[in-house]
Structure 1
């Protein structure tokens, strides 16, 4: 989810919170007037802070509870730092943003509570309130099956509350009118420890990542699989000798490069990009023509694309085309097809072209292109996922035997569909490749066989550390 979507969602619930504040205020003052009771006057500042707290609570509940669909079963993640390890392995902007937003979401709570009541100026009361608040939300998610009960959420939200408390106590110390000599500098510094730890931790993570040569593999395991009750069988021979393999590199484009590509692509068919409609995501850029009749989705990694021509969506497909016919049609869009590919006519104008780990000099070409070719000799849709990797470096890799030992120890990423693992039968192993977070195509071992009686595979990273 993009930040814009999150802010729009929060804005909707903020409006609901404001309406609720107005309603409660009216009811409160009407009751006082009807009962003709003299009540202690509420200061304007406390009223404002209370209103902010109420609006904040509505936004948090809305985002964490109301905006989520209910699932059939309760979902839990009781492994501490699981989300951090997931974010590290994929190094996805979305994953890191979710973690940071979970922390930031509770900063207002720690900030507002000491302003609302002097009782919360004691650190342990605000810390406790922050922990209880996030625990209640997680338990509600667990009970209602909305969202995930996650230890990392408890940690992140609690951390946010402590940071908010530290910030407001520092602000109050700076702007207090009383003698500042009574303010303990040491205590204020202690209050900033959560923020300092957060800054140091994230700085260390991102500096380490930027300094390492290769990216991270999402195929890396996060927690070890419990193999104590798993029947593991090996029905193939394993090579025990370590060897070498090449690492390949995939080009990664930026926003300007994808825009340049889109302009060139559309110029081939006499169209222009309408830059006012550009839609940029973390991994993809979307470009439309001025009349809105064409769309082009371009991935930053590898410049793979999805193209649609809406003017020809209702055209009949042209059947019986050869590979050369489709080559010529694709060339009009400046798309070159490798020499050695598998070609398949799916019928009704749908065609698939597959390059299966094809080596061409220093290039490794892999992936599939699918397209729809109409009777009007127009390509109404293209999904080009054929990637061309450049040879980067030869590296040492572990042996098949070492990789199997990691599998036996449970050091692999278990596919999500296998919750209750009881059998793994390995029939074959081959050296394959997996794309890392920096665009490198790293060698991995692909163990194929049956998992719980169904065809499946397990990936073990092969590069020697």
Structure 2
């Protein structure tokens, strides 16, 4: 979630709010002309009420109306799961969501005391804030357009109280013509708490040896009514395994260098800034004819892709051998393609280079590269490119838990699945193997993967458990 995404989501409802303000202002002046003397309404109070209504339109629109009905009575009563999720993924997007959920309700806390003097009471603002955010959460639950989350209710309420504390500083100053210490402390307390919280998290994260594993759950599966069946043997023996490092993970500088190289190679011009999409970075280009191209840099593993919205139905009229030579020379000059990469022509327009992953990563303990480059050629100058080659440096050797110990972790429910297990489900474990995955710092860590069947051939899932002690 970046600034562009937020603005694009807000814009339609802001338009509705502006239209609503215009209609109400016209109505107010008509009222003032005919009824103001008999039933006086102060303009300032009318404006604040109008702003409150418009705020609610925007918030309700972006939290409920703008979403598809893809949730089915999902409720999350666990507090602080958003923090655990943000920590596990060490994700800017997840941290932004926490902050945005608070900022979204700041106007409520600001407007309430300005509308009526009784709303200067902290407890009154607290109750009204909880009612407002509860209505939104309940509407999401009923319509299926969101999840009822206790974290959202907490953050919305905190945001409203932050706005309340800030506006009360100005109200006290207006009434008493002096600033007192306590209101100022209250106004800065909430921002200061979260700055401290995120600062401490950043220090802890940067001092730990490895990164976090994004697949770890924000909350455990409830295994109380889940039947487990084990159809494979589990060893009690622990072993050692190597850990590797990929410097391109989360390296936006590498993404910028690739963007510059692509622009130069294909004579493209970059349009605008870098857009954030989940944890990826999007660069936009245009050629001389106005066609648009997108470079997506995947921060989680350092891979990237170049694609366009153009439709390519025409027969290929380019010389594949010539294009292969040009593209190969470009990739090698940028240090992106290894000399030992194996070339093949996949079909009439697709060429690729492959690097095989070593078979015994656990014990090889040598630097290695793996992955592929796949290029789809078209009649225009710019091809579609998928780059998934990663260079990995051996950095450490660590003691692993045994498969049996990993299974004991699984039994406690400390794993995540796309669809949470339901009461009465049967989970049949058919296989376990040791493989590798990138953590949030770019370390290629060993993990156990349990292959499971849910409800006897209903569907397959893979459960990942950290292998390092």
Verify same fold: TM over 0.5.
Answer: yes
Change (3 A) 1:195 1:266: closer
Corresponding residue number in structure 2 for 1:299: 297
Count residues in correspondence: 453
2-structure distance, mates of 1:156, 1:377 = 50
Cα-to-partner distance string for 1:163-217 (whole Å, 9 max, x where unaligned): 11111122333x3353659x6x457645654444333323222222232232111
Partner of 1:205: 201
Q: 1:409-428 to 2 correspondence within 5 Å?
A: 409-416=412-419, 418-419=421-422, 422-428=425-431
For residues 312 and 200 of structure 1, what CA distance do their matches in structure 2 show?
Answer: 50
Residue aligned with 1:127, SS = helix
> SS of the counterpart of 2:393?
strand
- Decide whether aligned partners of structure 1 residues 224 and 207 sit closer, same or farther in structure 2, where only a CA change above 3 A counts: same
Say if 1:341 and 1:356, in contact at 8 Å, map to a contact too.
no
Identify the residue that residue 461 of structure 1 maps to in structure 2.
466
Counterpart position of 1:332: 329
Distance across 1 between alignment mates of 2:60 and 2:231: 52
Return the alpha-carbon distance in structure 2 between the equivalents of residues 373 and 361 of structure 1: 37
SS in 2 for 1:214: coil
Please state if 1:391 is matched with 2:388: no
Question: Do residues 264 (structure 1) and 255 (structure 2) align?
Answer: no
Which secondary structure does the structure 2 equivalent of 1:215 belong to?
coil
What is the deviation of 1:11? 3.8
| 1:227 paired residue number | 223
Report the alpha carbon displacement of residue 235 of structure 1 after superposing the two structures with TM: 2.7
- Structure 1: gaps spanning 5 or more residues: none
Q: TM-score, normalised by structure 2?
A: 0.84
Structure 1, residues 330-378: CA drift from partner, whole Å, max 9, x if none?
A: 5134152574769784x4544666545337983333444433356x798
Structure 1 residue 106 displacement after superposition: 0.8
For the Cα contact (< 8 Å) 1:248–1:441, is it kept in 2? yes
The answer to which of 285-294 and 146-155 deviates more is: 285-294
Deviation at 1:124, TM superposition (A): 0.4
Matches within 5 A, 1:7-406: 7-31=7-31, 33-34=33-34, 38-42=38-42, 44-71=43-70, 73-173=72-172, 175-178=173-176, 180=178, 185-186=181-182, 189=185, 193-252=189-248, 254-268=251-265, 271-277=266-272, 279-281=274-276, 282-291=279-288, 292-293=290-291, 295=293, 297-299=295-297, 301=299, 302-308=301-307, 313-316=312-315, 330-334=327-331, 335-336=336-337, 339=340, 345=346, 347-350=347-350, 355-358=355-358, 362-373=366-377, 380-406=383-409
TM-score by length of 1: 0.85
Q: Provide the C-alpha distance between the structure 2 equivalents of 1:137 and 1:390, rounded to a whole number of angstroms.
A: 49
For the residues of structure 1 that align with 2:193 and 2:337, how far apart are their CA atoms?
A: 51
C-alpha distance after superposition, 1:11-68 (max 9, x if no partner): 44233223212312333443464568612241x4333333332332222122112222
> How far did 1:129 drift?
1.0
Against the structure 1 CA distance between its residues 391 and 325, is the aligned structure 2 distance closer, same or farther, given a 3 Å change threshold?
A: farther
Distance change (3 Å), C-alpha of 1:248 and 1:156 = same
Residue aligning to 1:430:
433
Given that residues 270 and 283 in structure 2 are in contact (C-alpha distance below 8 angstroms), is that contact kept between their aligned partners in structure 1?
no
TM-superposed CA distance for 1:153, in Å, is: 0.7
Decide whether aligned partners of structure 1 residues 366 and 78 sit closer, same or farther in structure 2, where only a CA change above 3 A counts.
farther
Distance 1:420 1:59, change over 3 A: same
**Structure 2 portions without partners, runs of 5+:** none
Q: Are 1:278 and 1:288, in contact at CA under 8 Å, matched by a contact in 2? A: no
CA RMSD of aligned residues (A): 3.4
CA distance, structure 1, for counterparts of residue 460 and residue 372 of structure 2: 22
> After alignment, is 151-160 or 336-345 more displaced?
336-345
Q: Is the partner of 1:295 in helix, strand or coil?
A: strand
Decide whether the 8 Å contact of 1:111 with 1:164 is kept in 2: yes
Show CA shifts across 1:406-464 (max 9, x none): 11222211232755562222222221111111111111011124233233321101111
Change (3 A) 1:47 1:27: closer
